[in-house]
Every structure is written in C-alpha cells, then in structure tokens.
Amino acid sequence: MSLLEHLRGELADRESRALIRRRRTLETPCGPHAVVDGREMLSFCSNDYLGLAAHPALAAAIAEGVARWGGGSGASHLVSGHYSVHERLEARLANFTGCERALVFSTGYMVNMGVAAALVGRGDAIFADRLNHASLVDGALLSRAEHHRYAHGDTEALARLLTNSTARRKLIITDSVFSMDGDIAPLTELLALAEAHDAWLLVDDAHGFGVLGPQGRGALAAAGLAHWRLLVVGTLGKAAGLSGAFVAGHADVVEWLMQTMRTYIFTTGSPPALAHALLTAIDLIEHGDALRARLVAHQQQLRGALPLRRWQLMPSSTPIQPIKIGDNAAALGAATALWDAGQWVPAIRPPTVPPGTARLRISLSAAHTPDDITRLTDNLLRIEALQ
C-alpha cells in the first residue's frame, strides 16, 4: 500500500465512524444571521460572545490602525517588531486583568505551546485537567516534563498527585471555562493546592475573558484570585472580537517568559494595527455590562425551554451550552437536521471530546435575540422527539 493509499484508507475509516469534519464558508461578517455556503443561516457556532466581531467601532479602529501603522510589524518583537502601540496594549491588558505585566501573542495556541516549556522541563512535573484544551496538552508534551492528568475538576485526585510527586518544580495547568463542557474550573481550590505544594498555576481563560467577572475581567477576577505564582492566558479572538492572545502575571515571571519562550522569540510580531484596534475592544468589554446581562438572559431562556428526555443539557453557567447525545452518528444527524432547518450548530465528536460523549455545542452571543433562542429550542425539541 502506497502512502497515498494509506491516507485514503484512514480518511475512509474516519468517514465510517462519522468523524469527518466539514469546513463551511461564510459570505457575511461574523454574526448570528449569516450566509453560509450560499444559505441564510442562524448561527450558534461562534465564540463571539459579546457580538463585537462586526462592531462598527472595531472596524473603524482597524482602519485607523492600518492608516497609522501600516499592515505588518516586520520582525519578531525582540528584533524590531515591537511598537509603542503593543506596549500600550500590554499595559492595558495587565491593568485590566489585575496583573503586573502582560505579553501579547498572535494566537492563544502559541501562548499555550510555549509557557509550560519556559517554566518546567526534564525532572519537573505538570499536573493537568484531563479535559484541557489541545493547545495546553501539546504545550505540556513539548516541555518534556512528566505529564500527570487528573480527572476533570477532581481536586482530591490532584492533591494526591502533588503529594506523591518528587519533582523539583511543579506546574498545574487548567482551562478556566472548559470549551466543550461550559463548566468552570475550581480555581480557588487549585490556587490553594499550588500554594500548599509550591507549584505554578497556569489558567487558560480563553472563554472567560470578557464574559466573566466584574467588567468582563475574567474568571480569576470573578473568583477574586491574585498571586505571584498565578499566570493567566487570554484570547482576543473570542469575546474581544478580533484576534491574538496574551499571558499576564507577576512582572518578573513575565520577563522570564519574554526571555525564554520560543513561541514568542522566534515569530513575527502581531500587526501593530491589530494592537491599535484591540485597545478599543478592551474598552468595549469594560463597558459591556449590558451585553453580559443579555448573555445571561439568553442562557436562562435556553435552559428553561429545553426539558430534554433522552439528550442531556450539560450544566453550564456560561455562553457555552452543550447538549450531550453520545453516539457520533446521532450527534451528526441532529446537527444536520438543524442545518436543514436553517440553524447552524456544530456536532462535536472524538477526539475533541471523549468517546461516547458526542454532543451539540451551542454558543450563545449577546447579538442573538430572544426569537433566535426560541427558534433553536423549538427545533431541538422537535429533532430529539424524532430521533
């Protein structure tokens, strides 16, 4: 069998197990009402939680940024690609998250791929929630430290692992809001364990930043947590509506990251025009209490209208509202039935989620209306009854 024939066989196997992913093409700006592959659809796919991605103020800020700064940065941040507007954005993000300093990156994946290796290595140990995002898993593996995974949210299991570890340095890694479940990590307990066992704590707040806490300052602010051993990662392509990411923490720790993170040192800096626009995005988040209140109302409306019998609406107090179906083909069939009805909800299957837990992942946005939610819940109840 040739290499190409082998790949074709692997693709056919994925197809037989309902694991093939289909890429859709949007023909309109990001928003609940979209034209997708030539069809008008009501979308519940986006992580644009506050509805800022198509906000006129951000479009104007990007245009203004390009006029002021041009298109690209020209080099890595540590060569000649760091601009005064990057400096202002990092200071704004540090202040907004209650940290001493922040570093801006092009993507959240780059941050999570690099932080662990900068803090721990051979002879050290990482302790990670089993449902962490793939980027955190990959970053842990890249560090070459021992990689211990504890059952999702199980702080007792984590405490046992930490107690039994003889590693010289320890790092606890967790999502704040788990992207496929919508639940929130026990952050207070995790920080207490980090203190008790002299460990770092890295929290990926990708789905909490902009949504949770006072003025959308994130999950750590919502829990009232701050500590020198705590690092927070935030993405700027979800609630912030644009693109990019950051890591924030104690000034000395962030200085160490800047000096040692390969994913920061060896890549071109993000466009200064984007940093210019992100300053406006942070302002919109800070003054977005009405948007966050609308999100909460949408969550309550959806949960109150779904007395499911065979499927399971998973517990979540965030804009991520998953419905666990179980079987891959059944989840894909439900997503297809919704698509046929004009609603776009993705079917999430292994390896993104554990085998036997395939689900519909509903993402709510402040840009949705109560009528949008009603259309979705009516169709969900109808499709569940037919399956």
Annotated binding site for pyridoxal 5'-phosphate: 108-109, 179, 207, 235
Which string of DSSP letters, residue by residue, matches 179-216?
A: TTT--B--HHHHHHHHHHTTEEEEEE-TTTTTTSSGGG
Place of tokens 């891959």: 328
Active-site pick, 238, 298, 324, 368: 238
Cβ neighbours of residue 102 under 8 Å, at least 6 residues apart? 90, 91, 93, 94, 246, 247, 248, 254
Active-site pick, 148, 207, 276, 298: 207
Binding-site positions for substrate: 21, 133, 352
Q: Examine the residue annotation and report whether 324 is marked as an active-site residue of this protein.
A: no
Q: How many CB atoms lie within 10 A of CB 355?
A: 11
Q: Examine the residue annotation and report whether 207 is marked as an active-site residue of this protein.
A: yes
| Residue 104, both tokens | 């801006």
Cβ atoms of 108 and 233 within 8 Å: the answer is yes
The secondary element (H helix, E strand) that includes residue 321 is strand 320-326
Which residue from 137, 189, 188, 135 is spatially nearest to 162, judged by alpha carbons? 189
Q: Give the separation between CA 285 and CA 53, rounded to whole angstroms.
A: 12
Q: Examine the residue annotation and report whether 368 is marked as an active-site residue of this protein.
A: no
Binding-site positions: 21, 108-109, 133, 179, 207, 235, 352
Q: Is the dihedral of CA 53, 206, 215, 370 positive or negative?
A: positive
In terms of DSSP H, where are the helices of the chain?
3-16, 56-69, 84-97, 108-119, 134-143, 155-164, 187-196, 219-223, 251-260, 262-265, 272-286, 289-304, 328-340, 370-386
- Burial class of 293 by CB neighbour count within 10 A (0 to 12, 13 to 18, 19+): exposed
Active-site pick, 46, 73, 176, 179: 179
Catalytic (active-site) positions: 179, 207, 238
